[in-house]
Structure 1
Amino acid sequence: MAEGDFVIVHGRFSGTGLPRNWIAADIVRIADGVLAEHWDVLQDEGARADSKRGLPMFGDSFADRS
């Protein structure tokens, strides 16, 4: 998603060897065609057992397939 000088990217990192995938949001500000600022948020992906509504936090299925 982009608006003005800001771009937000949301994704899932898998295959890292960690017990759970990471869900990430990166926010960057571009100024004069150059990366000016960067912020990010990382968290472990919730499993089916963690979901009170029964919905995955990313996509349309749980990565754990349980």
Structure 2
Amino acid sequence: GYGMTEAGPVLSMCLGFAKQPFPTKSGSCGTVVRNAELKIVSPETGVSLPRNQPGEICIRGSQIMK
């Protein structure tokens, strides 16, 4: 399988480059970069999880290795 080195160097970014800027939140990693999609899923089921739930990060975009 693939590991994190294939995920690409940038997935989230500061507000100046955000797809949809939002107020700053302490401890935040920023927002997802343009031309990328991100979701958090359950590792056991693959089902998308609600906010503030631990899970696996799944990303999609032109910068991601296939």
Indicate whether the TM-score tops 0.5: no
- Report which structure shows greater RCO (CA 8 Å, sep ≥6): 2
Normalised-by-shorter TM-score class: under 0.3
The structure whose residues are more often strand, as a share, is: 1
The structure whose residues are more often helix, as a share, is: 2
Larger radius of gyration: 1
Q: TM-score, normalised by structure 2?
A: 0.26
